[in-house]
Amino acid sequence: MNSHRFDNENFFVFETRHEGDASMVHFIWGKKDFRIHVRPAGSGGASALAEVLAPDGRALQVTALQYLNNFEWYDYDGLSGHGLHHEEVRWKRGRQKRYVELPKDFFDIAMSIACKELGLEREAS
């Protein structure tokens, strides 16, 4: 099990999966499960949360960041509160919403984990 450290927080990669052109990284922080999905840009489906580059220069997009709660995956819906070291992140599944306190800049951390595990590069802004 690969691990990544950001500041004083540890994240553990549970699974990395490739299905065709799409990839997924399932990782754990504390006792919480998350997964991030990456697929080629313009491949249809969900809108992109962020852009990354494959080693061969192809444009890829992050299509989902998800949180597992009671055996159901919730989609990232943005920040709802800021703190000094943690942020409150909102997740949704249909009309249901969940709020989870996570390390500051959690979305960027998830992107960094996906890039390291899948050999991708972040696009310069």
pTM given for the model? 0.89
Q: 3-class DSSP state for residue 21?
A: coil
State yes or no: pLDDT of 110 exceeds 60: yes
Higher pLDDT, 19 or 42: 19
Q: How far are the Cα atoms of 4, 23, 70, 79 from residue 19, in angstroms, in the given order?
A: 24, 6, 25, 30
Number of domains in the chain: 1
User: Which residue range forms the structural domain that includes residue 80?
Assistant: 3-122
**Residues in contact with 37: Cβ distance below 8 Å, sequence separation at least 6, in sequence order:** 22, 23, 24, 62, 63, 64, 65, 66
What's the CA gap between 23 and 2, in Å, rounded? 17
State yes or no: pLDDT of 44 exceeds 80: no
Residue 46 confidence (pLDDT): 62
